[in-house]
Structure 1
Amino acid sequence: MLRSMYAGISGMKNFQTKLDVIGNNIANVNTSGYKKATVSFQDLMSQTTTGAQGATDTRGGINASQVGLGSKLGAISNIHTQGFQQTTNNPLDLAIEGDGMFVVEEADGATYYTRSGNFYLDDNGDVVNANGLYLQGLQGNITIPANAQSFSIQTDGTVNYIDGTGTTQVAGQIGLASFSNPAGLQKDGSNLYLDSPNAGLVPGLVTPEADGAASIVSGSLEMSNVDLAEEFTEMITAQRAFQANTRIITTSDEILQELVNLKR
């Protein structure tokens, strides 16, 4: 079979994956805290028909002649740029202005990370996310007593509430997780990420606004960083590239048909 046919097949598979990633980005354009993904390709090995030769006293050097054998998927990378903030005026809707992630835990200690800051109070007064995971502060779970008249969250993560006597009390201080390579985090669904060996988790929680750390904005949500114009442009490019690879296959098929017809 012709090498061009297999090269076209590899290109079709790769651009189908690219369209899958673009479709997921568009589907999550309004998902709070979502970080878009991008796809990069790499060429496959090349078949060498003529090796390279160095220059001699009587003749100059000759470059190698190689025929590529298609492409392969290089990487699917998550882009952790800041999304725009949507004002909700809900004091438990939190956005991170800068780098870092909220830390949420299950009761058994399983730890997750998220940029989606839509939190709630459960019946025990604990601050939890939509899946019931506990928001972690510098001293553990953050609990607001049932007799609290009101509460507020400061930009440094401090959670204040007014008790039944009208006195201001501190329920805790929200901590943030810091990563040297947030793109290395593993998506776990439900706006959650898992740590990975390549994420570079900084030990311990970071205090917001301390030593240049990110600040917390109460009453706002960080939305997706997906740019629809960019995604539609990439979609058109991927569609045309997919079509071009199908043309390679049909052209190769026509050449094979001509070869078969030689037998007649």
Structure 2
Amino acid sequence: MMRSMYSGVSGLRIHQTKMDVIGNNIANVNTVGFKSSRVTFSEVFSQTIQGASGASENTGGRNPMQIGLGSSISSVDIDMGEGAAQRTDNPLDLKIEGDGFFVVSDITGNKFTRAGAFRIDEAGNLVTPEGLNVMGWKADQATGEVQKGQVEPIQILNPVNLYSEPSATENITLSGNININDTQLSDPNGVPFTANFYDSLGYRYTAEYRITNLPLANENQFTITLTDAGITDADGNVGVATGLAPIAQIIEFDPATGKIIAGPDTFDMTNLVTPFSTFSTMSVDFGDLTLFAGNTTLEAISGDINGIGSGNQAGSISGFEVGGDGKVIGRYTNGQTKLLGQIVVAAFQNPAGLQKVGSNLFVATTNSGDFDGLGQDITSRGGSFNSGVLEMSNVDLSREFTEMITTQRGFQANSRIITSSDELLQELVNLKR
């Protein structure tokens, strides 16, 4: 009689535990990166009333006779299924597409999360809302590549990353057309054009050139002469470079095609001296010049045809973005970009073996596998980061409501076992009367 009552009590307990898990799942239906849990039951050991016996000549075999003694919790499992995407358009919100966890850290050590709602603190660190540092690989400023190794806090706005260093102009591309009948070409002042370039300190110069066909005898040859150069400092003051001497270069066209066939490879700037810098040479590409009919139009652009070697002034950071591979790219006011670091992921043999510690965080356990301290490039596992998107909770409300109904019915049925057993005991007591 009492066995049924205690079985009912065990049923009440496990169904109450299951309802607790369901309640927590539903409470976190809108929690970023939340992973729902489920409860499974198992029977408690059974009391054997009579053991099994084999068949003999006179009797057949008999099965064992057992009475179960209730049920217990078998497991509370974490569902590591990926949640749906929620678009936020915040560049610091990241969603992991695929397996893996963000690595975050505080004074107690590394922890792991799927919730990518990050922000920048006053020191320029990329952190979680609770202030844990997001970990990854730092960038080598000398090589512009990430340094793979032990994970470190990603500091986006450290003093080194706040500014982009200037660089001198190395290449100039000259394009346009020269009309051989343009009378201005025979004038000593020629046809003027300008070229802008930077020195190694980021000071911007405007060099003035003229192109003439004097005093050359070949009408398909022209002289390009550097006539003046101006410099603009940080305050907008314009001055004239000192020690400037005319620099002349000769170019020649094929009269049959109107295309350039001869020209210098460089502008020799060794005798251009300013109060700030000295110059060497800049490579120049004359390949886009033509000798066709039409207007004479000349344009000098800093950099080669791909914009490489154009030079730039110093710049301050104006924004940043996180690529699909986790690389954080800084954008600067001078048009340059710079790699600031790379966010990595941690992978585990058994992600469901991780232990929840609150605030959407997990820690490694002996059954999840250890974190190697290095992390992985997310693309090495076929995954990627999605910027401006968060991973939503993977709670399925339809399933939770169904589980809630069956759990309530199970609890109700077990309570009836207790009340019915109590009524039987009451009848037994009444036999004395």
Alignment TM-score, normalising by the size of structure 1? 0.96
Question: Counterpart amino acid of 1:144?
Answer: I
Q: How do 1:99-138 residues align onto structure 2 when only pairs under 5 Å count?
A: 99-106=99-106, 108=107, 110-138=109-137
Structure with higher strand content: 2
Q: How do 1:147-226 residues align onto structure 2 when only pairs under 5 Å count?
A: 147-201=316-370, 203=372, 204-210=374-380, 212-226=381-395
Name the structure 1 match of 2:3. Answer: 3
Percent identity reads 51
Question: Counterpart amino acid of 2:406?
Answer: T
Cα displacement (A) at 1:167: 1.3
Partner SS, residue 193 of structure 1: strand
Cα displacement (A) at 1:178: 0.2
Question: Does the Cα contact within 8 Å between 1:148 and 1:162 map onto a contact in 2?
Answer: yes
Measure the CA separation in 1 of the matches of 2:36 and 2:19: 13
Measure the CA separation in 1 of the matches of 2:431 and 2:328: 82
Paired residue total? 262
Question: Does the Cα contact within 8 Å between 1:15 and 1:238 map onto a contact in 2?
Answer: yes
Structure 1 residue ranges (4+ consecutive) displaced by more than 3 angstroms after TM superposition = none
Question: Counterpart amino acid of 2:116?
Answer: G
- The CA deviation string for residues 211-261 of structure 1, in whole angstroms up to 9 with x for no partner, is x34211100000100011100000000000000001001110110011001
Cα displacement (A) at 1:208: 1.1
Measure the CA separation in 1 of the matches of 2:63 and 2:137: 62
Name the structure 2 match of 1:142. Answer: 154
Question: Counterpart amino acid of 1:117?
Answer: G
Measure the CA separation in 1 of the matches of 2:155 and 2:332: 13
Whether 1:243 aligns to 2:242 is no
The two structures, once aligned, show a CA RMSD in angstroms of 1.3
Runs of 5+ unmatched residues, structure 2: 139-151, 163-315
Question: Counterpart amino acid of 1:68?
Answer: G
Structure with higher helix content: 1
Name the structure 2 match of 1:22. Answer: 22
Cα displacement (A) at 1:57: 3.7
Question: Does the Cα contact within 8 Å between 1:137 and 1:173 map onto a contact in 2?
Answer: yes
Cα displacement (A) at 1:163: 3.0
Question: Counterpart amino acid of 2:384?
Answer: S
Name the structure 1 match of 2:241. Answer: none
Question: Does the Cα contact within 8 Å between 1:206 and 1:213 map onto a contact in 2?
Answer: no
Larger radius of gyration, structure 1 or 2?
Answer: 2
Runs of 5+ unmatched residues, structure 1: none
Question: Does the Cα contact within 8 Å between 1:178 and 1:201 map onto a contact in 2?
Answer: no
Question: Counterpart amino acid of 1:4?
Answer: S
Measure the CA separation in 1 of the matches of 2:428 and 2:41: 33
- The CA deviation string for residues 52-94 of structure 1, in whole angstroms up to 9 with x for no partner, is 1122344332110100000011111100000000000000000
Question: Counterpart amino acid of 1:89?
Answer: D
Measure the CA separation in 2 of the matches of 1:54 and 1:18: 41
Question: Does the Cα contact within 8 Å between 2:324 and 2:384 map onto a contact in 1?
Answer: yes
Alignment TM-score, normalising by the size of structure 2? 0.59
Partner SS, residue 72 of structure 1: strand
Measure the CA separation in 2 of the matches of 1:19 and 1:148: 52
Cα displacement (A) at 1:141: 1.7
Measure the CA separation in 1 of the matches of 2:137 and 2:63: 62
Measure the CA separation in 2 of the matches of 1:157 and 1:57: 77
Question: Does the Cα contact within 8 Å between 1:161 and 1:169 map onto a contact in 2?
Answer: yes
Question: Does the Cα contact within 8 Å between 2:21 and 2:39 map onto a contact in 1?
Answer: yes
Whether 1:88 aligns to 2:88 is yes
Question: Counterpart amino acid of 1:261?
Answer: N
